[in-house]
Structure 1
Amino acid sequence: MTALMTILGIAIFAFGLLVSIAWHELGHLTWAKVFKIRVPQYMVGFGPTIWSRKKGDTEYGIKAIPLGGYIRMIGMFPPGKDGKVTARSTSPWRSMIEDAREQSYEEILPGDETRLFYTRKPWQKVIVMFAGPFMNLVLAFGLFLALFMGFGMAKAVPTVSYVSACVLAQGSATTDTCPTGAKASPAAAAGIKPGDKVVSYNGDAISSYDQLQSDIRKSAPGVTIPVVVERNGTQYTLKVTPVENTVYVDDANGNPTSKTTKAGFVGLSPVTTTVPLSFGDSMSQMYDMAKTGVHSVLALPSKIPALWDSAFDGAPRATDSPVGVVGVARVGGEAFAMKAPLIDRFAFEVQLLAGLNLSLFLLNMLPLLPLDGGHIAGALWESFRRRMARLFRRPDPGHFDVAKLMPVAYVVAGVFLCFTVLVMIADVVNPVQIG
């Protein structure tokens, strides 16, 4: 049964990935047609075509390998110095630039001279290229909003789920029997019990566990303070004497890291429950996730050495290690097979797909060819050059020839391919473990 549920979880993720790719390419296609650019193909996937149908002047289809997709627009690059806009014969001796230019004109038909991508105004090019990543952003926004407001987020509340029997450094094995020489925890000594709701701590009214944790960690060791708890509808005032202990350091989002520090400690763990968020809290949460996503994308180069060690030297895989499609699909399958309510498992799949779409948006916005952001940067540069020419009364420099950047595009594509292969190997031989 576990294997079946794992396969089902992977299948759900794969379907969501296909929808995300199709949705991305639909953005490009829609605005290309709005601006009357001819699009011969709209394909989801790579490799052999397993299904296609032609409608109008566009062939719509699905290919065998669901790891991407594309639309093919004619006339992506301006003509060469000879001014030709018809296909030329290919040659192994031609440069990368001319090969790319020729491929751009392979399917030009009579009357297409006015339907070429490069002839459109810069702002139109920007819209066409931005529309794909923007669709991923819209999908991520919708999925996250439905997840946060409809299902909720796991959140620690100031209700006690577990009381440590003794004072142990965080990261030690949990035990109900104190090792020799270990002191009883302040919470246990004070009589705090699982199920108690902490109402106030040292006179400070408690509304969240984050607030309670902060108050505890700021406590002076050895100083007895009053703690009010609610138990079975009745409030009790207990006396707690915090001690200094080794605790995990939280990051900017309140999540524990592997770093430790010395702080006040009483020895209680909170109840974690799913709490639906308001629209405002959902927006705040999405902003934090987007900010974290940007930092993660910018930090990708710095994570390559550790990723290499995990893939080939057996080094432990960090929890914040880059994960590819194979790794995410595996996580989705494992999560779907876990012993948890079905709604929780579906919520996790939605969260994975929302995070995937946010990542697709951020990666595609990098101003590098062959990514969408590279074409956007080229269109913006063209607009800037033309504006400067008009401002200084100089001749119009014409369309910016993005084809001249194709050697750089091939290098970038090669780097991304190598990185993708490295991540895939790490996902197979040393995958990220989920709790």
Structure 2
Amino acid sequence: MEVLWFIIGVAAVALGIALSIALHEIGHLVPAKLFGVRVTQYMVGFGPTVFSRRRGETEYGVKAIPLGGYVSMVGMYPPEHPEQGERPRSASTGLFQQMATDARQLSAEELRPGDERRMFISLPVWKRIIIMLGGPFMNLLIAFGLTAILVTTTGVATATTTVSEVFRCVVPAAVQQERAASGLTGEDACEPSDPPAPAYEAGLEPGDTVTAFNGQAVDGWDSLSGAIRERAGEPTAITWERDGAEMTGTITPELTERPVTDSSGRPQTNPDGSAQTEDVGFVGMGSLVENVPQPVTATFGVMGQQLQATAEVVVVLPVKLWETAVAVFGPAERDPNGPMSVVGVGRIAGEAAALEDVPIQDKASLLLSLVAGVNVALMVFNLIPLLPLDGGHVAGALWESIRRGWAKLTRRKDPGVFDIAKLLPLTYVVGIALLGMGVLLIIADIVDPIRIF
């Protein structure tokens, strides 16, 4: 049964990713057709064609390798200037010039009479940008829709004012990490010489719900935690509920070195990789985290955190890939927040679906969150301003607009359409790099997978 659930999880997420890719390409297809561009192909996947059907002037189909898709539009590259076309082939300035020339010739061969105004390159810059941003925008809509469903039904993991654990002692963060690394956790991590934790001394126990601190009603864990941090060394009144009965006491937060975390609760590090710490008030108790349904407006905050986390990974992607390679071929551990391939996503989906004693609705939520995360990654990654990614086409269009605008402002001759074919050498380099990245991550997800459960 566990194997069956694993297969179901992998298949469900694979279908979700395939649909996401198909909808991404529809995001390009629809505005292209609305703006009158002749679209010759709409394909999901790469490689040999498995199935296709022509409707009107466009061939719709599925290819054998489901690792992407594309929409083929006529006139992606501008034709050669007359003076360029008159030169013999032997007069080419080199391989790069020849690559651009060949690309323009292949693009020109697709043109039919009447296509002069139906070429992609003949559109105004703003229309070209809309077409190229249509794909990432579709991924954003998918991610937002799935996240909204999760936020309003399953809820958002929220730290409550209910106590989940009470520490017996208080030690600096560095000492705590050293003991944890040696396998000492819980009460075993405390030594007789360690000072007792204020929460333990005050009589708090797991399951208690803190209702007031320093004479102020507690409306959430964040406000309680913030108040504790500011009351180091000061005896403070605290009220909590246990089994329906109200209890009161006095607690004195101890000034202790604690890790610095961001808005998502992730530890922050220094440039040298060490953990950032600060001296704040600490009482030695943890919060019970529960999924709490939120209004649909909370989706914006959740999406913002996901976009920020994904963008942070993309910005340092070369470093993350190097760390992944070191982890696969060396003794280092793989970063659980690093990049992964569709193989890794599928593996996590299978493991999530195969979890025992987990309700089906929780499994479904896990799978939906994975598909939503993939769409966020697709959107952010495709906005990288490098060809052949969508962001590269957008950058080229923006550069054309800037160049033509400057020429108009300085009363110079209009430089015309920016010849994106000249960037083909860089495009091939990026393409090879993307292929290498995919191979590395697939190997990593097989040999040294990220384990969440």
Q: TM-score, normalised by structure 1?
A: 0.89
2:126 to 118, 123, 126: 123
1:136-147 matches, cutoff 5 A: 136-147=139-150
2:221 to 206, 209, 213: 209
1:178 touches 1:184 (CA, 8 Å); kept in 2? no
1:170 touches 1:247 (CA, 8 Å); kept in 2? no
Change in Cα spacing, 1:260 to 1:238, as seen in structure 2 (3 Å) is farther
SS at match of 1:368: coil
Q: Which residue of 2 aligns with 1:251?
A: 262
Q: What is the root-mean-square deviation in Å for CA atoms of aligned residues?
A: 2.7
Change in Cα spacing, 1:144 to 1:179, as seen in structure 2 (3 Å) is closer
Q: Which residue of 2 aligns with 1:109?
A: 112
Matched, 1:80 2:97: no
Q: Which residue of 2 aligns with 1:368?
A: 386
User: What amino acid does structure 2 have at the position aligned with 1:212?
Assistant: L
Q: Where does structure 1 lack aligned partners over 5 or more consecutive residues?
A: none
SS at match of 1:250: coil
Q: Which residue of 2 aligns with 1:237?
A: 248
Q: Measure the CA separation in 2 of the matches of 1:217 and 1:336.
A: 40
1:312-391 matches, cutoff 5 A: 312-339=329-356, 340-391=358-409
Larger mean Cα displacement after TM superposition, 131-140 or 413-422 = 413-422
Matched, 1:189 2:201: yes
TM-superposed deviation, 1:29: 0.9
Matched, 1:220 2:232: yes
Larger mean Cα displacement after TM superposition, 276-285 or 372-381 = 276-285
Q: Which residue of 1 aligns with 2:162?
A: 159
Q: Measure the CA separation in 1 of the matches of 2:396 and 2:165.
A: 58
Q: Which residue of 2 aligns with 1:96?
A: 99
TM-superposed deviation, 1:247: 4.2
SS at match of 2:260: strand
Q: How many residues align?
A: 429
User: What amino acid does structure 2 have at the position aligned with 1:50?
Assistant: V
User: What amino acid does structure 2 have at the position aligned with 1:133?
Assistant: P
2:10 touches 2:349 (CA, 8 Å); kept in 1? yes
Change in Cα spacing, 1:263 to 1:381, as seen in structure 2 (3 Å) is closer
TM-superposed deviation, 1:176: 5.5
Q: Measure the CA separation in 1 of the matches of 2:5 and 2:109.
A: 47
Matched, 1:406 2:424: yes
Change in Cα spacing, 1:272 to 1:47, as seen in structure 2 (3 Å) is same
2:176 touches 2:189 (CA, 8 Å); kept in 1? no
Change in Cα spacing, 1:242 to 1:127, as seen in structure 2 (3 Å) is closer
Matched, 1:66 2:66: yes
Q: Where does structure 2 lack aligned partners over 5 or more consecutive residues?
A: 270-274
1:9-88 matches, cutoff 5 A: 9-82=9-82
Q: Which residue of 2 aligns with 1:431?
A: 449
Larger mean Cα displacement after TM superposition, 166-175 or 4-13 = 166-175
Q: Measure the CA separation in 1 of the matches of 2:398 and 2:195.
A: 66
2:286 to 269, 275, 285: 269
Q: Measure the CA separation in 2 of the matches of 1:267 and 1:391.
A: 65
TM-superposed deviation, 1:400: 1.5
Q: Measure the CA separation in 2 of the matches of 1:241 and 1:385.
A: 65
1:288 to 302, 305, 315: 305
